Amino acid sequence: MSVVTKVVLQMNAKLGGELWSIAIPMKGVMYIGIDTYHDSGSARSVGGFVASMNDLCTRYYSKTTWQASKQELISQLEVCTDEALQQYFKLNNAFPSRVFIFRDGVGDGQLLAVKEMELTSIKRALAKLPQKPQLIFVVVTKRIQQRFFLKQGGRLSNPTPGTVVDTKVTSDALFDFFLVPQSVGQGTVTPTHYNVLEFSTNIQPDHLQQIAFKLCHIYFNWTGTIRVPAVCQYAHKLAFLVGNHLNKDPSPQLANYLYYL
């Protein structure tokens, strides 16, 4: 029965159903996830772009881009952002007042290149709006060496989900933090590293950390929390499906569905 239930839930999500949602008091926000997939047997790499279309984070718009094989940076983000903003306006009759972007799949050595190329492209798209929204751009990294432990009396244990570390072991030059998004049954839990490259907003850093943790709860393929914000995982799944199986852009009629789950 549990297997059948999960299959039906996945079918429902693919067809546009809203399985569950999160409560974020902030309204008029678009959350964007970006990731890249490299297929060793293909001459091209594919970038996945997924943007939320409502405050409950249950509706999404997706688009794919193509670049040279093994190229991590995406050159067409201005076009993707333009189309997502127009779709958001079509559904909400207003443009978002804040845009949160979570970029997955780039290492620390590429942060400057991401800032100069991808962040600049997105800023050009936002500058076209009647009123420029506040912008937060975050690079999400899963493959890290850092581990954290909670000291309780004379023993060590894994920190609880939602634990944030933003002092001592973080960079002095950058705004970054570590977030423990989930619990594990055995072994040591691996935190996720967030590097904030743009923080043009009036919200507090604590709010960004809370939002990042909340977004780990709304990936419709898993009933618990995942290691990255859901928009990142959706972008990864989209890029993987298109790059590994379709090898061409999906139909525009599917752009508002989570068909890639």
The token duo for 10 is 């996945």
72 catalytic per annotation: yes
Active site residue 38: no
| DSSP per-residue letters across the chain | -HHHHHHHHHHHHHTT--------S--SEEEEEEEEEE-TTSSEEEEEEEEE-STTS--EEEEEEEEETT--S-S-HHHHHHHHHHHHHHHHSS--SEEEEEEES--GGGHHHHIIIIIHHHHHHHTTSSSPPEEEEEEEE--------EEETTEEEPPPTT-EE-SSSS-SSSEEEEE-----SSSPPPPEEEEEEEEESSS-HHHHHHHHHHHTT--TT-SS--SS-HHHHHHHHHHHHIIIII-SPPPGGGTTS-TT-
104 included as an active-site residue: yes
Of the candidates 35, 55, 78, 118, the residue annotated as catalytic is: 35
39 catalytic per annotation: no
Q: Name the active-site residue from 18, 72, 83, 108.
A: 72
Question: Which residue among 55, 104, 118, 176 is the active-site one?
Answer: 104
Q: Calculate ∠ Cα 79-214-11, nearest 5°.
A: 70
Residue in 55, 118, 217, 236 annotated catalytic = 236
Please list the active-site residues.
Answer: 35, 72, 104, 236
